[in-house]
Structure 1
Amino acid sequence: MILYPTIELQNGRCVSLNRGRLDEPSVWHVDPVETARGFAAAGAQWMQVTDFDAIVGEETSSATVEDIIRGAGIPVQVAGGIRTREHAEEWLNKGAGRVVIGTMATRDPQTVKSLAKFYPDQIVLAVDVWQGQVMSEGWKSSSAFEPEAFIQEFDGVPFAGILVTDIDADVEDNDASLSLVTTLAAASRTPIVASGIVRTTDDIARLKYVSNVGGALVSRSLFRKTIDLAEALEVAQPSADKVAEFI
């Protein structure tokens, strides 16, 4: 299972949101590029950058995202406010390893399907779920889709993965629940990446045994230092199968 240590940016600063509110961030006084390099030094294979400014249509953090792409030393998955094909291609041309598409998929699924076929293994579908519905516009608007039906709409599309966020667990800061991820992983032929439910290494240990879960995002726990990245990466590795001994 691949862990994606995640930097969330607002006004060029590393932040975490309190109960999903963009106007009440916790600011972490660390350098974003150095933090990204630290992820690589700890052994991460990938990382994600989520641009909260882009979600509301601003470019305040765009330069910082570019700096991270150039300086991290590992592939960067870019998320936040990517709502047109041109914007997605812009980030890919700037060196992003992958881009995460959510709102555009609820508005214009055909364009997203075409984009994924043109850039196989570089487009990630975001499925943000709150109270049983797929959300869009940075969790502000409820779409007409239920998550399983939404995933089925894109069956066979060559996404790099499907990023599932349990908004209920993330916003309410509840104990991690595997039920949503388990259900959607069973409904998908594309590997699921879990978001919003990893708070301890025990959560990672449980996730890696869920069929068709290929990864998980971890962010706030790293900045709060409730998870050590090197330890978490070790936990995420597949366990060696026991081999019977024969005499």
Structure 2
Amino acid sequence: MLNHLSDYQLLYLDIETVSAYPSYFDMPERIRLLWDKKAKTLNYKGDQKPMDLFNRSGIYAEFGKIVCISVGYVVKSSHRLRIKSYYSDDESKLLYEFGELLNQHFNSPKHLMVAHNGKEFDFPYIARRMLVNGLELPSLLDIAGKKPWEIRHIDTLELWKFGDYKHFTSLDLLTAIFDIPSPKADINGSQVNEVYWKENDLKRIAEYCQNDVLAIVQLLNRYRGQNLFLEENIEFVALEEIE
């Protein structure tokens, strides 16, 4: 399965997002009123107020922001997996640095981006936030007018669906059933917003994000019938916040 991918250079990625504001009451009035309208569509049971649903605002590019993008790529000359992160309180700088990575090193037809649920979440979220920050889209993210087979995105969730559009399977579950060791992490996705706004611990978030990238790499290896990367062949680039 997917043996043709050996002809490409893959960039694996995962993003961490948080609410754009520390709390519901910190939102500017215009944004808050629009969130109230959005929250009505999320209030399935009808028993929650917009402020009660505020912790979900970070998953929407219109009400959230990106605080970390972790990427992984295989150095073909040594067959080592290298994982690094871009993280910052300044989303514009973070996205600019990530865009420079794509523009300078992942800008040819032989380059593909890989994420879990990437087509529904990571890829469009990054593109939307780049536009909000006034940044030009790199070619890998600029999909307007392209035919489906021209879009160089791979989604490990989509591959697992096999055409079943109703089926969602978490990365955690897939790594479990494929017997992929669970990377050590002291937080989960539901805690990222609190860790950011209450603890201001970006490094902790970046470490968690890197673990997800490693899981995506190992999962795609399983899909392709390949061996997992051993610990000695994985290099985590030292975390350095973008100032």
Q: TM-score, normalised by structure 1?
A: 0.32
- The structure whose RCO (Cα within 8 Å, separation 6+) is larger is 2
**1 or 2, which has the higher strand percentage?**
1
**Rg larger for:** 2
